Structure 1
Amino acid sequence: MPMNRPAAAALAASLCLLTAACGSSSDDAASDKTAETAASRTGYPVTLDNCGVKETFEKAPSRVVVMNGASVAEVSTLLALGLDDRIVANEQSYGRSEVPGRAAAIKKLPTGNVKLNDAYDIPREAMLGLRPDLVLSTTSYGFDQKNGFATRDQLEEVGANTYVSPQGCRQDTSEMTIADSYQLLRDMGKVFGVGDKAEKLIAASEKNIAAVTEKVKEKKKPKVMVLFSNMSMGGNDFSSVVAKGIYNDILARAGGSNAFENASKTSFADLSKEKVAATDVDALVVIGYNDPNPAAYARKLLKEFPQWPAAKNNTYVTLSDSMYLGPSNDVAVQKIAEMLHPDAL
């Protein structure tokens, strides 16, 4: 007959009293030493302070759920670290990538057959039904009960750790930099016990970016317009124009500057056509988010604003995941630098 946990604990205590084999200080010391040795060997437990919440991992997660968050940062990071087999449900996709094979690899990942909510993300009951042991969210929005999501406390109750990506705690990514991409890589390296691989990826990216930046450092910094193709986020004609965030860090490393950096205090500016027309734009960076032909959108803009230097010189590049938080920012730096300063590269 199976015993409940209190009964089993009581029986164990009784046996210890009768046999005198369970309580010696030497055995306790040996047990502690064994535990310390095992922890040292495996690297666990791992504790992260994430948005003011301490998350402790006793072992590498094996049932990971990646929330949408209009991002590919988290799923791309897991793929870069070779952790695709740990994902039981992924809702992130840009439909394309600068990294060969990544878009196809993301497409092959399981989705958990979840019916998404109006925010195109995983509602509470569906999330709990996936039985995750780690849930990744781009911002704290993904754990907000008001929006119908499972909270971090609710997920902890079912044995799931949670993680909000860098700069996502306040749901404000306007101060994000490339360093945050490295932090995401580093944190996932620790969580999954692949820290060495994470550090190698970071070192390679830093080396690539430094090499490009050195070549363009004496060059004039053209004014660049960065925006998402065929996407509306506000009430004006141009509501997906980037103002601040990691995009500006990438532009600076590539020898450029954001033409609309002062147009908003947040990550995105909501601009009228008149404001856009009155601004000198030397080059375009169009980010394709599930858009099969962002180049067509770029050419349309150049035709619409023929007075831009960018239009006169046909200067544009289309990017996707490398321009966002994630493991491939060095690719964006390289491609933008090649567009802005072809003579230097």
Structure 2
Amino acid sequence: MSINRPAAAALAAALCLLTAACGSSSDDKASAKSAEAAASKSGYPVTLDNCGQKQTFDKAPSRVVVMNGASVAEVSTLLALGLGDKIVANQQGYGMSEVPGRAAAIKALPTGDVKVNEAYDIPREAMLGLRPDLVLSVTTYGFDQKNGFATRDQLKQVGANSYVSPQGCDDDPSKMTVADSYQLLRDMGKVFNVGDRAEKLIAASEKSIASVSAKVKGEKQPKVMVLFSNMSMGGNDFSSVFAHGIVNDILAKAGGANAFADTTEATFADLSKEKVAATDVDAVVVMSYNDPNPAAYAKKLLKEFPQWPAAKNNTYVTLSDSMYLGPSNDLAVRKVAEMLHPDAV
């Protein structure tokens, strides 16, 4: 049987598709393998499932905007990973830090010359004008259209990914632990292809905390009051007292316990002066949020409640960023443990 030339060519093409035995197919396979190898080497694409939204990164972000959210976790994490040069606008800052040089490094970052809104954060039009390729927010609040912010969908439309920090999806940090700080480090490590740096930081933190916890194991757990200095968030005299959240995990690892954990299920307790006075407080942790002299507040507090064991023994420590979500929780664990168990640590 003879086959004409066009039919033979067609048959050859069909066999080529079925068997992948033709030169062009081999070239395609080689090209595909090359692309896969390049992607593997670059670490991209990277996809994160963040608060129910998939965010895919084809390359490392180079125009990062960090929203305020009364946090320094996000900007501190980027700085700890050596990514400060990727930030085009930062609205976070506590004014002080347990990490030498960090407060100054945060202050030196660009702000984008943004006029913030009533929530002290970046409004929608200003955000879009910054041309970000990644926007970091502490909670979903930072992407709420009702509050004048750019939504995650609006950011996606202009080519920007978005990220909400751990436990920020439901805007409830009451269940936050040190593990969430590690999750933030790991996620940013993946996004920027610096996972090795993230893992080294996490390993060092875990080792430091384990060492401290081992030394205070079996010791009596003093009752600790943790609060922000000179800050009011409710209707009572003491509305910035922590009841739950990452501070409780830090206290436990340092050999202590929260004196007000049973007052509410929320992150913060809103306490009367009478309730505070009636509680035995063995030690105080005063957290500074842009307060240049938290020690003065701590001394004033101890003077106000002289019946506390904390006042009689002058037992207090002032901290800032290490006591909350961020890359430096190991410093808080060590400093709190040194206050509570000076002979053990």
Instruction: Give the TM-score normalised by the residue count of structure 2.
Output: 0.93
Matches within 5 A, 1:71-220: 71-220=71-220
Cα distance, 1:243 vs structure 2? 0.4
Cα distance, 1:262 vs structure 2? 1.1
SS in 1 for 2:153: helix
Find runs of 4+ consecutive structure 1 residues off by over 6 angstroms. none
Matches within 5 A, 1:1-345: 24-345=24-345
SS in 2 for 1:211: helix
Q: Distance in 2 between matches of 1:50 and 1:175?
A: 17
Instruction: Tell me the number of residue pairs that the alignment of Structure 1 and Structure 2 aligns.
Output: 323
Cα distance, 1:322 vs structure 2? 0.1
1:160-180 CA-to-partner distances (Å, cap 9, x unmatched) read 000000000000000000000
The letter for the 1-side match of 2:65 is: V
Cα distance, 1:33 vs structure 2? 1.2
Q: Which has the larger radius of gyration?
A: 2
Q: Structure 1: any 5+ residue segments left out of the alignment?
A: 1-22
Cα distance, 1:102 vs structure 2? 0.2
1:137-196 CA-to-partner distances (Å, cap 9, x unmatched) read 010100011111000000000000000000000000000000000000000000001000
Instruction: Give the TM-score normalised by the residue count of structure 1.
Output: 0.93
1:275-329 CA-to-partner distances (Å, cap 9, x unmatched) read 1001000000000000000000000000000000000000000000000100000
Q: Distance in 2 between matches of 1:239 and 1:127?
A: 32
Q: Distance in 1 between matches of 2:97 and 2:79?
A: 13
The letter for the 2-side match of 1:74 is: E
The percent identity for this pair of structures is: 82
Q: Distance in 1 between matches of 2:182 and 2:239?
A: 29
Per the alignment, residue 3 of structure 1 pairs with none
Q: Distance in 1 between matches of 2:143 and 2:28?
A: 41
Q: Distance in 2 between matches of 1:89 and 1:187?
A: 20
The letter for the 1-side match of 2:340 is: L
Per the alignment, residue 11 of structure 2 pairs with none
Q: Structure 2: any 5+ residue segments left out of the alignment?
A: 1-22
Q: Distance in 1 between matches of 2:142 and 2:48?
A: 19
SS in 1 for 2:175: coil
